[in-house]
Structure 1
Amino acid sequence: MKSWKRNIRIGDLADNQKLEARCKKCGHVHYLTRAIVCTSPEREFLYIDELERETVCRARGCHGGVRLSMVRLDELSGFIGGLA
């Protein structure tokens, strides 16, 4: 069974889509965008889980592993309301 991280490539992300990188060691949070990750053309073929394995915390002196999650876009927020 594949997780969503194995189904989505960096190239599939929208230009304004952000990935939240939260450190497993210290809890520091930083955000990644497609432009930040794709420093070379072949990096857009990486799956999210591959990016998660190679990304480290940016906090000073930590360098722990991170957990990636997608930041929700406002235009994709769920329907709020009911049947009339």
Structure 2
Amino acid sequence: MTWKTELRLDDLDPHARLEAFCTACSAARYYTVQELLARRALAHAHLDEVETALKCAQPGCRAPVTLYEVSAGETEAFQGGMP
């Protein structure tokens, strides 16, 4: 089981962002959970079902997308060293 099969869309914070990355043209589109919850068909769907329902938003593409959770945290540089 993965996080996509365990979590439902309504389990996430409404202001959280998800990235839909196209598997064909590499275009990315960002959705808020609230925006996706407004679609009645996705209101109680698991994230793998949301991923299957979404298609690429680029004109003429309509390929499947992969969902990623967008992290609000900053990355840090390596702080350690060799002993």
Same-fold call, TM cutoff 0.5: yes
Equivalent pairs counted in the alignment come to 79
**Using the alignment, how far apart are the partners of 1:63 and 1:53 within structure 2?**
12
CA positional deviation for 1:15: 2.0
**Using the alignment, how far apart are the partners of 2:60 and 2:41 within structure 1?**
29
Unaligned runs of at least 5 residues, structure 1: none
Provide the aligned C-alpha RMSD in A. 2.3
What does residue 51 of structure 1 align with? 50
CA positional deviation for 1:73: 2.5
Partner of 1:45, secondary structure, is coil
TM-score of the two chains, using structure 1 as the length reference: 0.80
Q: Does 1:72 align with 2:63?
A: no
Unaligned runs of at least 5 residues, structure 2: none
Report which of the two has the higher share of helix.
1
- Where do 1:1-84 residues align within 5 Å? 2-40=1-39, 43-74=42-73
Q: 1:56 to 1:41 in 2, by over 3 A?
A: closer
